[in-house]
Amino acid sequence: MSIDKDKIKHISKLARISLDSNKTESLAKDLTSIFKFIEQLNELNTEKVEPLSSILNTPLRSREDKIDDGKIRDKILKNSPKKNEEFFVVPKVIE
């Protein structure tokens, strides 16, 4: 599939993107090469290739869930303009 400057201008108008003429030419060349590569990929025979969910062929290991506060509560509360013991104080948003 070949993309010319007229198609680029039409697409940019539909997308409401302003492009100058220098960018139009380079974008047309780039998109043409991208579509040629996609056409090459479409020609590949992938019937016997199983889809991958991961590059590793092993199942995920389970781990124990541990609650950890990071012991930085005081550092976090220093960022608050108002605080009440261990909590942030925020303005009321419901009347």
Q: What is the CATH number of the domain that holds 22?
A: 1.10.20
Q: Six-digit token pair at 50?
A: 């199983």
Q: Six-digit token pair at 47?
A: 């019937």
Segment 41-53 shows an average pLDDT of 89
Segment 71-90 shows an average pLDDT of 83
- Report how far residue 40's alpha carbon sits from residue 34's, in angstroms, rounded to the nearest whole number: 10
Residue 15 lies inside a defined structural domain of this protein: yes
Categorize the per-residue pLDDT at 81 as very low, low, confident or very high, splitting at 50, 70 and 90. confident
**Is it the case that residue 69 has pLDDT exceeding 80?**
no
- Report how far residue 42's alpha carbon sits from residue 36's, in angstroms, rounded to the nearest whole number: 10
Cβ neighbours of residue 12 closer than 8 Å, sequence gap 6 or more: 18, 19, 24
Residue 61 lies inside a defined structural domain of this protein: no
Residue 34 lies inside a defined structural domain of this protein: yes
Structural domain of 37:
5-42
